[in-house]
């Protein structure tokens, strides 16, 4: 288990995001009335928000056992799933908080569409290029986040999959630095102060600070984008 895997157990979320962004995206969904919904992600705030908003039957899926337990404690119908696994049958609303993409957006969108009821709404979060990235940023981010596509290319792929693009929302810098890297680095510093004998901590701290610095210097080049797609 690497350093970040240890630290995120005490954090609100395991990837960039915020309740403000979740509420903003929810506001873009319009006056929908889904009967069933699926959330796949790494925090419990978003499913609580849209469950409260829409009052529908909600399944919350997490790849970490501890996050599923947090969801159950908060009253969610929460389950632990394998990476990229989508439980259940079809849903009227799917919110998929992707962050690392190995297979590519086209395959992920195809997988999600199979789980979406006809006319349903998909919120698909993916790390996307906002501008042409510098070579160093591209190499680093693709090693960290997998296959990254430009925002406009994701929109084209969604249309090719038969989705209607309803809207999209670009996560602000604060979702990354203020709500993720800052508390994560603070937790790492506390951990390092306690586990002074662990030689791997300094290496993990170095990699974490490098990732945060890359984003801080090149945040105009990439971010999480929430694609709101109608099936």
What number is the average pLDDT over the span 208-229?
95
User: From residue 160, how far is each of 107, 187, 219, 228 by CA, in Å?
Assistant: 12, 43, 29, 15
Please report which confidence band the pLDDT of residue 63 belongs to, taking 50, 70 and 90 as the band edges: very high
Instruction: Kindly report, residue by residue over 155-203, the tens digit of the pLDDT.
Output: 999 999 999 999 999 999 999 999 999 999 998 888 888 877 777 777 8
Measured CA to CA, the distance from residue 83 to residue 68 in angstroms comes to 14
Give the mean pLDDT of 52-68: 94
Encode pLDDT of 3-49 as tens digits: 777 888 889 999 999 999 999 999 999 999 999 999 999 999 999 99
Integer angstrom CA distances of residue 227 from 6, 71, 131, 210:
30, 24, 17, 28
């Amino acid at each position: 288990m690497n350093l970040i895997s240890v630290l995120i157990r005490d954090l609100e979320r395991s990837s960039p995001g915020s309740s403000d962004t979740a509420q903003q995206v929810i506001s873009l969904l319009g006056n929908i009335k889904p009967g069933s919904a699926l959330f796949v992600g790494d925090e419990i705030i978003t499913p609580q928000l849209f469950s409260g908003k829409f009052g529908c039957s909600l399944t919350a899926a997490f790849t970490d056992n501890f996050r599923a337990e947090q969801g159950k404690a908060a009253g969610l119908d929460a389950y632990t799933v394998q990476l990229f696994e989508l439980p259940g049958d079809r849903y009227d609303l799917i919110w998929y908080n992707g962050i690392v993409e190995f297979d590519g957006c086209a395959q992920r969108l195809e997988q999600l569409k199979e789980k979406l009821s006809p006319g349903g709404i998909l919120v698909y979060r993916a790390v996307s290029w906002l501008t042409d990235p510098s070579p160093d940023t591209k190499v680093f981010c693709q090693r960290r986040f997998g296959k990254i596509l430009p925002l406009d290319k994701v929109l084209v792929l969604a249309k090719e999959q038969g989705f209607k693009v309803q809207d999209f929302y670009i996560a602000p810098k604060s979702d990354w630095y203020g709500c993720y890297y800052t508390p994560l680095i603070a937790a790492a510093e506390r951990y390092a102060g306690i586990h002074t004998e662990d030689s791997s901590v300094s290496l993990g701290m170095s990699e974490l600070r490098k990732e945060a610095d890359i984003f801080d210097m090149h945040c105009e080049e990439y971010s999480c984008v929430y694609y709101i797609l109608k099936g």
